Amino acid sequence: MSLSNSQYNAIMRIYNQRQFQDKYEQDERVKEVYRRIPQIRQLEDAMSSQAVACARRLLDGDERARQRLKDQLEDLREQKAVLLAAYGYDPDYMEMRYHCPECQDTGYVDGKKCRCFKKEEITLLYAQSNIQEILRRENFSAFTFQYYDNREVIPQIGMTVADYMKQVYAWCREYVEGFASKGGNLIFTGSTGVGKTFLTNCIAKELIDRYQSVIYLSSNDLFDIFSKNKFHHDAEADMQDMYQYILDCDLLIIDDLGTELNNSFVSSQLFYCINERLIRKKGTIISTNLSMDMLRDTYSDRISSRIISQYSIIPLYGGDIRTKKR
């Protein structure tokens, strides 16, 4: 996944702030040492003078000046270390201290992203996903089949809900594994409490951990953003950025489609969002309480046609498992 310019700039601002903080803290430590141990400044002045004198001698052709400078500087450093230790300081107390010694707070090592940069990417992606806290509780590690019935066979699928959910779980895992190379779209249908949102959250966490950009929005929030972007010409820049991010993030999750107040604007914007993301080859997951027939009746034939032809439809069955967790 490639970060957008705004995402990349947000991370680089963090590194710029760290570098500024690193330098400020070093300057404060140096001031402290100079105040407590004035001899340290004298030693450092002597080091600078020796280096200048060496440079002049080298220009005059004195080839042994370099080695003499090395010996003199080593002696001065030892004197400095002894003084620092006498006052309870570590030898490197006056040196720059970095949050990440590997990249020295630049974000890059040998032209490649440092591990700390990748960590910042994940942090940013979680923050922008809109479900950072939820994903700590709802993920594949927390998924269990114990709340699904394993006795009654559901006629539509010819197996118990528990056995069927094991298949669904495997499909979701396969979706995650293939997402980077082929993307794809899912729609979870079923009544309230059968696990639609939990499964989308499981997928979201896995993809964010793989540096994919994910955004979760309820259908009400989604169309609220579309409305403000369309009709409020003085909408803040952040709202306009969010509108573009909805269209361009790697995975968009639309939760509870069908609970919003439907009208011609909602239908047209839903079609535009679905169609535009298909054109851009971006993945979308929809969860809804509506059946496919109800979805067609609620919106339009062209919306249901896009979903039927371009989405993997995964109906979920059973009762409200949330009541079983209490």
Average pLDDT over residues 132-151: 86
Q: Are residues 57 and 200 in the same domain?
A: no
Q: What's the chain's average pLDDT? A: 87
Q: Is residue 119 part of a domain?
A: no
Q: How far is the C-alpha of 320 from the C-alpha of 302, rounded, in Å?
A: 32
pLDDT tens per residue across span 77-121: 888 899 999 999 998 999 999 999 999 999 999 998 888 887 788
Q: How far is CA 257 from CA 3, 170, 187, 192, 299, in A?
A: 28, 24, 10, 12, 11
Q: How far is the C-alpha of 233 from the C-alpha of 113, rounded, in Å?
A: 38
Q: Are residues 199 and 304 in the same domain?
A: yes
Average pLDDT over residues 142-166: 90
Query: What tokens were used for 120?
Result: 């910042």
Q: Which among 113, 146, 180 is the end of a domain?
A: 113
Q: Name the residue with higher pLDDT: 236 or 311.
A: 311
Q: Name the residue with higher pLDDT: 68 or 111.
A: 111
What is the domain count for the chain? 2
Q: Are residues 172 and 288 in the same domain?
A: yes
Q: Is residue 161 part of a domain?
A: yes
Q: Are residues 197 and 316 in the same domain?
A: yes
Q: Are residues 26 and 140 in the same domain?
A: no
Q: Is residue 14 part of a domain?
A: no
Q: Are residues 104 and 136 in the same domain?
A: no
pLDDT at 236: 57
Q: Are residues 102 and 173 in the same domain?
A: no
Confidence at 67, pLDDT banded by 50, 70, 90:
confident
223-232 contacts: CB < 8 A, separation 24 or more? Answer: 223/260, 223/265, 223/266, 223/269, 223/270, 226/265, 226/269, 226/273, 227/265, 230/265, 230/269
Q: Which among 60, 88, 113 is the end of a domain?
A: 113
What is the 3-class SS of 34-60, one letter each residue?
Answer: HHHCHHHHHHHHHHHHHHHHHHHHHHC
Beta-carbon neighbour count of residue 172 at 10 Å? 21
Q: How far is the C-alpha of 236 from the C-alpha of 50, rounded, in Å?
A: 58
Q: Are residues 147 and 103 in the same domain?
A: no
Average pLDDT over residues 40-63: 80
Range of the domain at 100: 19-113
Q: What is the pTM of this model?
A: 0.69
Q: Are residues 217 and 93 in the same domain?
A: no
With a pLDDT cut of 70, the percent of the chain lying above it is 95
pLDDT tens per residue across span 171-230: 999 999 999 999 999 999 999 989 999 999 999 999 988 888 888 889 998 998 888 877
Is residue 251 pLDDT above 90, yes or no? yes
pLDDT at 121: 82
Q: Is residue 64 part of a domain?
A: yes
Q: Is residue 77 part of a domain?
A: yes
Q: Are residues 222 and 197 in the same domain?
A: yes
Q: Is residue 6 part of a domain?
A: no
Q: What angle do CA 277, 204, 16 make, to 5 degrees?
A: 90
CATH number at residue 293: 3.40.50.300
Q: Is residue 265 part of a domain?
A: yes
Q: Which candidate, 245, 244, 243, 273, places its Cα nearest to that of 257?
A: 273
Q: Is residue 219 part of a domain?
A: yes
Q: Are residues 216 and 292 in the same domain?
A: yes
* C-alpha 188 chain-centroid distance: 24
Q: Are residues 204 and 247 in the same domain?
A: yes
